[in-house]
Structure 1
Amino acid sequence: MRGYKKPTVSIIGASGYSGAELSGMIARHPSVKLENLYAYSQAGNKVSDIYPALNLDMTYRAYEGVPESDICFLALPHGEALKLVPELLDNGKMVIDLSGDFRLKNPAEHLTYYKQEKPADAWMTYAMPELFHDEISQAKAASNPGCYATSIILGLAPVCRPPMSCGTVTSVSCSALSGLSGAGRSAKTELSFSEMNNNIRAYKVGMHQHTPEILQALGTSATSPSFGFAFTPMIAPLTRGIYTVLNISLEKQLPVSEIKEHYRQFYRSAPFVRICSNPPEVLHVAHTNFCDIHVTQSAQDGSLIVITAIDNLVKGAAGQAVQNMNIMLGYDETLGIM
């Protein structure tokens, strides 16, 4: 289009796994222009030296203040975005944050689960497109959901949000396996090949930081939950992917065919959610923005079993962030992703 100027993008925290995934997606996006890549630890290094596969002729820069770009993505460790976002918003930037800094409305829950204090107003639109599309379309600042949270919320939302209410669910037991990239790029002995090959390890059992985020998005809270919720996260010897199994007890036993149809209708306008006849596989969603969901029922007690699979770096991070950017800019939400 003659005279059209593409919105420009800066990525702050671009050298981590999520930041690198995002860099590649923005560089390929047809309707925005990648302008700056900021990275504290890699400042001065060429992107091609750190991530040759990205094929980007750019150099990481040190962050020295508000960039000229129209849109700023932040892919920083928890706590860092809190320091930068207020100034970005004051300067009229569109902001999409991939950390947990702005996800929780309740500062007390944030302190409990993130071990950090934050101001009461440090909250931004919780940007899960399948649930909050209209709110995202009006937002100038968006908080991208966590990876585990995405896989779990999408599996639970049809039975926890209207037209079915949380009162229908009495308890949820959730186990989720994550690929090693979910822990970030920093070297850790316990995540090395020799420690994790042929191994699975549970961690943060009963106290994972995505728990209050999940319950908040489902219309309840970790402080006063309306149904029992037990979450066991685990690390598996995968590079990428999250595989989640949800065992859901309902007040009223419903035919599984009715529940499956409800899931299909709930996600009928969601281009990146696929309701599958068979249990999903991580390989089927790797390097995509899809969430695959399978719904079935226990033959013993009729309880609901929902299985989901996503790529933690795409639908669980960078892909969902680009999806949110598209919605905020009024583009088709699949642009540059599908």
Structure 2
Amino acid sequence: MNQQQKTWTASVIGASGYSGAELIKLLKRHPGIEIEALYAHTQAGKHFSELYPAIPCDKVFQTYEGQTDSDIYFLALPHGEALRLVPGLLAAGKKIIDLSGDYRLEKVDEHKHFYGGDKSPEAVLQYGMPELFRDEIVKSTAISNPGCYATSIILGLAPLFRGGMVGLEVESVNVTAISGISGAGRSAKTELSFSEMSGNMRAYKVGKHQHTPEIMQALGTSATEPSFRFVMTPMIAPYVRGIYSVLNVRLASPATMASIRELYAGFYADAPFVRLRNGVTEVSHVANTNFCDVSLAFENDGSLVIITAIDNLVKGAAGQAVQNMNLMLGFDETTALL
């Protein structure tokens, strides 16, 4: 029996949050996956359908106490929690996809600076961005799923840094990225209530967002010793899902739109979930999908403007996790995602 014919069992730890629920929705329609258990300590004893009636699933939330019965484990937990659980799952020989930032960064000092806490990862899991590391993901058993802002920004910039275009050099990148409220998670917070956010928009974590070192690492440099100037301003707006990123890029020498479009088209030729758009993309174009849309333009001063749109809960979290799982287990990359 080959991998494509096998039915794999999967469990989700942290299944009551928005990303966890999105995972359940995708796994329920996957032909090669059987959901074995859902873990959510604060919701233990409740049926999944009590929290999410729109998603047909009859499982009851349990408390995770080190169970290792499933073939693959998804961890959709707050930052810091996976550090406690991943070592045991690795020791048990389980396949793992961690949706938190606990295992994304190679440099311990960057992890401590941007994530805080007194515990750092003892190992770095394979970074799970299929468009950049497909071959490595196929051979991996444990994946660190990219962050949502990081996904939208890295996919917008990667061809410039990894596309091999001779003479192309980036001097600076200035990013304004806007997220829907679901990006902050399901926990009740006064500042995210309807009365606070309706008709409102605001920046947050300016100058120290935890996805910054992840972005720089994927582009071949680091947040502490950057090879180009990088400024990121994350913002939150009163819509539910989606990330809209506007990247203003200063190139060291002029380039034509034809050459840039050719670079991007070639780089993503085999990427089923990245779409190079002719017009300006919008959040509504990608909502509830695993696509990342990319639009390109030049300003009058010669700076390159890249606009990307993703659904933060799908391509920015659960959908990318399933995409990674498909590659790990030998399924077609798009299974359950189109």
TM-score (norm 1): 0.97
Contact 2:163-2:267 within 8 A present in 1 as well: no
1:305 matched to which residue of 2? 305
1:159 matched to which residue of 2? 160
Q: Provide the alpha-carbon RMSD of the alignment.
A: 1.5
Instruction: Give the aligned residue type for 1:266.
Output: F
Contact 1:104-1:110 within 8 A present in 2 as well: yes
Contact 1:160-1:166 within 8 A present in 2 as well: no
2:196 aligned counterpart, secondary structure: helix
Instruction: Give the aligned residue type for 1:303.
Output: S
2:62 aligned counterpart, secondary structure: coil
Question: Does residue 1:335 correspond to 2:331, yes or no?
Answer: no
Question: Does residue 1:113 correspond to 2:114, yes or no?
Answer: yes
1:295 aligned counterpart, secondary structure: strand
Deviation of 1:115 after TM superposition, in Å, equals: 0.8
Instruction: Give the aligned residue type for 2:321.
Output: A
> Residues 50, 137 of structure 1: CA spacing in aligned structure 2 closer, same or farther, 3 A cutoff?
same
Deviation of 1:119 after TM superposition, in Å, equals: 4.1
User: What are the ranges of 5 or more consecutive residues in structure 1 without an aligned counterpart?
Assistant: none
- The separation in 2 between residues aligned to 1:229 and 1:166, in whole angstroms, is 20
User: What are the ranges of 5 or more consecutive residues in structure 2 without an aligned counterpart?
Assistant: none
> Residues 5, 268 of structure 1: CA spacing in aligned structure 2 closer, same or farther, 3 A cutoff?
closer
Measured against aligned partners, the alpha-carbon deviations of 1:219-270 in whole angstroms (never above 9, x if no partner) come to 0000100000000000000100000000000111100121011111110000
- The separation in 1 between residues aligned to 2:121 and 2:322, in whole angstroms, is 27
2:60 aligned counterpart, secondary structure: coil
Question: Does residue 1:271 correspond to 2:272, yes or no?
Answer: yes
Contact 2:290-2:311 within 8 A present in 1 as well: yes
1:316 matched to which residue of 2? 316
- The separation in 2 between residues aligned to 1:335 and 1:65, in whole angstroms, is 29
- The separation in 2 between residues aligned to 1:230 and 1:71, in whole angstroms, is 37
Question: Does residue 1:11 correspond to 2:12, yes or no?
Answer: yes
> Residues 113, 165 of structure 1: CA spacing in aligned structure 2 closer, same or farther, 3 A cutoff?
farther
1:171 matched to which residue of 2? 172
Contact 2:102-2:121 within 8 A present in 1 as well: no
TM-score (norm 2): 0.97
**How many percent of aligned residue pairs carry the same amino acid?**
61
Instruction: Give the aligned residue type for 1:217.
Output: A
2:224 matched to which residue of 1? 223
Equivalent residues in 2 for 1:1-338 (5 A)? Answer: 4-119=5-120, 121-164=122-165, 168-299=169-300, 301-338=301-338
Number of aligned residue pairs: give it.
337
- The separation in 2 between residues aligned to 1:119 and 1:331, in whole angstroms, is 33
> Residues 91, 219 of structure 1: CA spacing in aligned structure 2 closer, same or farther, 3 A cutoff?
same
Contact 1:66-1:87 within 8 A present in 2 as well: no
Contact 1:140-1:328 within 8 A present in 2 as well: yes
Contact 2:9-2:72 within 8 A present in 1 as well: yes
Deviation of 1:131 after TM superposition, in Å, equals: 0.2
- The separation in 2 between residues aligned to 1:188 and 1:201, in whole angstroms, is 15
Measured against aligned partners, the alpha-carbon deviations of 1:119-150 in whole angstroms (never above 9, x if no partner) come to 46331000100000011001000000000000
Contact 2:173-2:231 within 8 A present in 1 as well: yes
Contact 1:166-1:226 within 8 A present in 2 as well: no
